[in-house]
A = this chain, B = another copy of it.
């Protein structure tokens, strides 16, 4: 299981930051960061926590995962019994209490995520620890997540490979008459056939006039000849996501649509060539947009030019004009030029890229053309 390997790296990185910030412990209950630090995406709607010190780490979860980072141990709590009515939140609180108590002897300075830590857990921390200083570690963890470790890359690449297969499945199975829901189910079948747990899929599935609104969930609307179909897919396989987009034409497209899609391809390729460490993301946005500006089409490109991809399908950095973020080697980002013309439909093209020392490597392999269904 490669999942636990990447979390070993996450913990090592966090401990470096803890040393720099002189923190004796970090505690998070935010599922995204529990996944990042434990290597296991928490089961849906379950309360979980990770407590990290320089020497130890504890995952609190109702069920112990098979693989955890080497320095991490699991503390479980009961969330089901037929012998009495179980209150999982109370049992989680009890486990959290016990875990915090083990920190009491040495911990004075604590990193927390106040936007996510529950009052009940804060009271346990106050009760058991002699807290001299608390610090919001959410920005530290978000910063860390932007630059992927070597161990995260195969996980993202697996999600990319699944995504390539989803695009092929649409091309191979969907024709006029199928509904947007059918397109969704066709792609979900690819995700669910993977043994990863979770193997989940969200996305935009919009066709015909709906493409002008950029995105949305699938409906029962049936594809008609002459429609465009935007399929923006963000699967999660185990812990990591991809986020790619292809536009399909239902039936042979008129030359005007082929030409417009060629602009997306050019904008994507232009952005791709510019990606390198040190490039401000606002400049990357401007570079992608410049292709549309040249054609007098920029007003039809209303959204970001891309964003980071990792444990979340959309995370920092943001490829927008208002960002101060700078590309760094190890970031994984999307570029997603799109054009949405009132009365004529919308189209979008999105690939994922690893920022390398010298430029970038494209992680998406499905052809970039407007595919005909």
A103 interface contact, C-beta 8 A? no
Chain A interface, number of residues (Cβ within 8 angstroms): 50
Q: List 20 A-B contacts (CB under 8 A).
A: A47-B115, A81-B322, A82-B302, A82-B303, A82-B320, A82-B322, A83-B321, A84-B322, A84-B323, A85-B316, A85-B322, A90-B115, A93-B115, A114-B123, A118-B118, A182-B189, A185-B188, A188-B188, A192-B218, A195-B219
Check: A309 CB closer than 8 A to any chain B CB. Answer: no
* A85 in contact with B325 given A117-B118, A118-B115, A118-B118 (CB within 8 Å): yes
Given contacts A122-B119, A322-B82, A323-B85, contact A192 B184 (CB under 8 A): yes
Chain A positions within 8 Å of B, measured between CB atoms, are 44, 47, 81-85, 89-90, 92-93, 112, 114-120, 122-123, 138, 179, 181-182, 184-185, 188-189, 192-193, 195, 197, 202, 217-220, 285, 302-304, 316, 318, 320-325
Question: Nearest residue in B to A134 (C-beta to C-beta)?
Answer: B119
A184 to B90 CA separation, bound complex (whole angstroms): 33
Partner of A122, one of B122, B182, B184, B192: B122
On chain B, the residues within 8 Å of A123 by CB distance are 114
Contact B181 A193 (CB under 8 A): yes
- How many copies of this chain sit in the oligomeric assembly? 2
In the assembled complex, the CB of A287 is this many whole angstroms from the nearest CB of chain B, namely: 15
Query: Chain B residues near A47 (CB, 8 Å)?
Result: 115
Smallest beta-carbon distance A243→chain B, Å? 15
- CA separation between A89 and B117, bound complex, in Å? 12
Question: In the complex, A195 Cα to B181 Cα: how many Å?
Answer: 11
Residues on B with beta carbons closer than 8 Å to the beta carbon of A117? 118-119
Nearest-Cβ distance from residue A338 to partner chain B, whole angstroms: 12
With both beta carbons as reference points, the residue of chain B lying nearest to A181 in the complex is identified as B192
- Given A82-B303, A82-B320, A118-B118; A197-B217 close (CB under 8 Å): yes
Asked whether, in the complex, the Cβ of B192 is within 8 Å of the Cβ of A185, the reply is yes
Q: Which 8 A-B pairs have the closest CB atoms?
A: A84-B322, A89-B115, A83-B322, A114-B120, A114-B119, A82-B320, A119-B122, A181-B192
Return the contact of A115 from the options B112, B120, B316, B324 (Cβ within 8 A). Answer: B120
Measured CB to CB, the closest approach of chain B to A205, in angstroms, equals 10
Known: A185-B192, A192-B218. 13 other contacts (CB 8 A): A47-B115, A81-B320, A82-B302, A82-B304, A84-B320, A85-B324, A115-B120, A116-B118, A118-B118, A118-B119, A185-B189, A188-B188, A193-B220
CB A113 to nearest CB in B, in angstroms, measures: 8
Closest residue to A188 on the B side, CB-wise? B185
A138–B89 touching, CB < 8 Å? yes
A84 CA to B197 CA in the complex, in Å?
35
